[in-house]
Structures are given as structure tokens and as C-alpha cells.
Amino acid sequence: MANELTFVQKHEFLLRRLHSLTGLVPVGLYMCVHLATNASILNGVEAFQNAVYMIHSLGNALVFVEWGAIFLPLLFHAIFGVYIAYSGQFNTSRYSTGKNWRYVLQRITGLIAFVFIFAHVAHMHGWFHVDFWLQLMEKMGLAQFKAYNAASTAAAAMQANLLWPILYLVGIAACVFHFANGLWTMGITWGLWITPKAQKRADYIVWGIGGLVMLLGLSALGGFMTLDPAKAHDIEVRMYEESVKSGRIVPNEHKLSHPHVSP
């Protein structure tokens, strides 16, 4: 029938609210904590390695946390976001004409974030931790991050080609703009700031948050670009031996870079 509703049209309200919510929690919150963890590289190799040990102390549960709390909500937000960006049917009256550029930029930065996050997770994490897949990715210069040699592998991955830091700079800027402006539009979606005066005040808050998160991103990027991977590796080898001896971490070949030389 000509006027039969599609699944998305039927559930538009719920999907829209879910899309809005996932942008804040877990995706937005994850990005802030993730950039703060990465920025801890400025406190030294030990500080960053300790933070990664803590995350990886989840052991076998880590894969469920990654997929359940990060990848699946992110994929839902991203895929529905691309749908919104292309269909262009939601919220066209949200911005006054003066703010129209923000409406357009929200969509453009969403698409940039899509490409960046896809490439970034392939670059560092490899997406799927299955042996044959990881070997294939590593051969292509991807899946470079090894959790027990966290700082040296992240730094080497970032320094492998000048195109990586350029991609990260553009990607971080797009994600941060998208997040900060998204907080502002969320306030309207959820009825937090309605009057023009309240919206102006909200502007200061969201751009303040955006500035701080951008600073974290730039600190992380600068930290990994300037770190000496060989020096960092020596510190990590010592930390690994001590941590295995004290029972703090479980030995795991897959989380070590090769060659891993004992002191």
C-alpha cells in the first residue's frame, strides 16, 4: 500500500530518543574518559601503562564490555546518524537561520567521525581479536596497539606515517565539535533549554566543555607523537616482568609487542 509506514517512521520517536541518549552515554562519556586516559601519557610511560593495566584487568570480560558498552551503541548511533544525515528529515526547524551552519556541521562532523572511528579502531585495536584476522591486519600496518606495551606501540603506530597524526587531528576536532554541539541540541531534544536566553547560556557551557575535551585530545596526540618508542619499550618490559611476578597481570603473548626482550 502506498501510505504504509516504514519501521523507522513507526518507531521514529523512540529511535530518535535512543540516538540522542547514545550520543551522550555511553559514546560521549566514553570519548571523554578515553581521551583523558590517553592524555595521561604526558605524565609518563608508567602512568599510561598503569591505566591500561587497569582496563585490561577485566580479562575475558573486556570483549563483552567493549562490544556491549562501546561498539554496539556506537554502531547504532553512527548508522542511525548516517540515516538522519542523508534523509535530512529531522529537526530542520531546530536552529534559527543564523545557527543553520551548526545544523549542517553536526551532520558533516558525524560523517567525518564515522570514517575516523572506523579507521582508528582498525589502526590501534583491529576490531576483532581473532588470531587469523589480527595477523592479516598487522601485515597491513593495522591492529598495532599491544596492551602490555601500551605507550611504545601507540607511539610507534602514530609515528609510522605522517598521514596518521593528520587523520587523528581532523578526527578529534570533528568528534569534539560533534559532541559539544550535540550536547547543545540534546538540551533542546530533552527540553533542558527552551528560551533564547537559556540557549545562549548553554552555548557557553557546551563550548567550555568542548574546549577542555579538545585540550585532552591534543595532549594525547602531542604526547604520542613526541614519545620515543624504544625508551618507552624498556620501561614497559620492566613493568611487565614485575607485574607478572606480583600477580597483578596474567601473562598473555597476544598483548605483547614482538620482539619482547626481558631485561
Residues 78 and 114 sit within 8 Å (Cβ to Cβ): yes
For ligand HEM, which residue of 8, 12, 15, 20 counts as binding (CB under 6 A)?
A: 20
Q: Least distance in Å: CB of 1 to ligand HEM?
A: 28
Residue 145 interacting with ligand HEM (CB under 6 A): yes
Site for ligand HEM in 28-67 (CB under 6 A): 28, 31, 34, 38, 66
Site for ligand HEM in 185-214 (CB under 6 A): 185-186, 189
Residue 182 interacting with ligand HEM (CB under 6 A): yes
Q: Least distance in Å: CB of 2 to ligand HEM?
A: 27
Q: Least distance in Å: CB of 185 to ligand HEM?
A: 3
Q: Least distance in Å: CB of 60 to ligand HEM?
A: 14
Please identify, among the stretches 133-141, 168-176, 228-236, 238-246, the one whose residues bind ligand HEM according to the rule CB under 6 A. Answer: 168-176
For ligand HEM, which residue of 177, 217, 249, 257 counts as binding (CB under 6 A)?
A: 217
Site for ligand HEM in 105-124 (CB under 6 A): 106-107, 110-111, 113-114, 117, 120-121, 124
Q: Concatenated DSSP letters for the chain?
A: -TTPPPHHHHTHHHHHHHHHHHIIIIIIHHHHHHHHHHHGGGG-HHHHHHHHHHHHTTGGGHHHHIIIIIIHHHHHHHHHHHHHHHH--S-TTSS-GGGHHHHHHHHHHHHHHHHHHHHHHHHHT-S---HHHHHHHHHTT-S---GGGHHHHHHHHHHS-THHHHHHHHHHHHHHHHHHHHHHHHHHHTTS--SHHHHHHHHHHHHHHHHHHHHHHHHHHHHHHH--HHHHHHHHHHHHHHHHHTTSS---GGGS-SS----
For ligand HEM, which residue of 45, 137, 142, 147 counts as binding (CB under 6 A)?
A: 147
Handedness of CA 239, 243, 244, 250 (dihedral sign): negative
C-alpha cell at 200: 545562549
Residue 95 interacting with ligand HEM (CB under 6 A): no
Residues 31 and 213 sit within 8 Å (Cβ to Cβ): yes
Looking at beta carbons only, is 178 or 237 nearer to ligand HEM?
178
Binding residues for ligand HEM, rule: CB under 6 A, are 20, 23-24, 27-28, 31, 34, 38, 66, 70, 74, 77-78, 81-82, 84-85, 90-91, 106-107, 110-111, 113-114, 117, 120-121, 124-125, 145, 147, 154, 168, 171-172, 175, 178-179, 182-183, 185-186, 189, 217, 220-221, 224
